[in-house]
Chain A
Amino acid sequence: ETGVTQSPTHLIKTRGQQVTLRCSSQSGHNTVSWYQQALGQGPQFIFQYYREEENGRGNFPPRFSGLQFPNYSSELNVNALELDDSALYLCASSPWPPNEQFFGPGTRLTVL
């Protein structure tokens, strides 16, 4: 059984650029959630995808958007990058309804 995978591992961008992060859910899981974790903080919920639709969103601006594909993998897109977007981005998958969630290794985004 393959766990949650994320790509890329690390990414460096400059202010104003756009970035796409990718997540493959664990086998059998149809729900994907994205979290942002700033240094020294707990993860913050960005949004969740179920059946290719956004199913709940945290306190993040519209420049954070996402997609879920028929194979349940997901993308997180961030436009107009700001310095404060520098963080570890975590993806979690679960069956529906969500109970225990399983996290990927994360993507470290640095915005210069």
Chain B
Amino acid sequence: KQEVTQIPAALSVPEGENLVLNCSFTDSAIYNLQWFRQDPGKGLTSLLLIQSSQREQTSGRLNASLDKSSGRSTLYIAASQPGDSATYLCAAPGSSNTGKLIFGQGTTLQVKP
């Protein structure tokens, strides 16, 4: 049974800092992993999707890595800005090819000006 954990639960950093958000999963037989951003009371915005054959995926200041053997993914945010303040969620498939996503509880990031 897939379980997803995110550490830390909350993070506060000054503007401009580079930071890493962590995601771990128990079942390494995943075919992808997805990172999302959620603003308070809003839906989820897809940030990055990493296929199982990839080790990294980049979009602007965001870089996500995937290490299936260790059951870990990281989301790296470069030069953080106050507009990056949000909750970041990672999600792994619960079983092959059904699309059921298992989410972590999220990391709530606050970037202070």
Contact = CB atoms under 8 A, between A and B. Distances in A.
B94 A45 contact: yes
Given A42-B89, A97-B97, A108-B41, A103 B103 contact: no
A45 B106 CA distance: 16
A99 to B, nearest CB: 6
A100 B102 CA distance: 13
A58 B89 contact: no
| Interface size band for B | 20 to 34
Contact of A99 (B49, B105, B106): B49
A106 B43 contact: yes
A97 B98 CA distance: 7
B89 to A, nearest CB: 6
A92 B98 CA distance: 13
A103 B44 contact: yes
Contacts of A45: 94, 100-102
Contacts of A76: none
Interface in A28-70: 31, 33, 35, 40-45, 48, 55-56, 58
B34 A103 contact: no
A104 B51 CA distance: 22
Contact of A42 (B31, B46, B98, B104): B104
B41 A56 contact: no
A58 B100 contact: yes
B46 A88 contact: no
B87 to A, nearest CB: 9
B43 A104 contact: yes
5 contacts: A42-B105, A55-B98, A58-B100, A101-B46, A103-B46
Given A45-B101, A55-B98, 7 more contacts: A42-B106, A45-B100, A45-B102, A48-B99, A56-B99, A98-B98, A99-B31
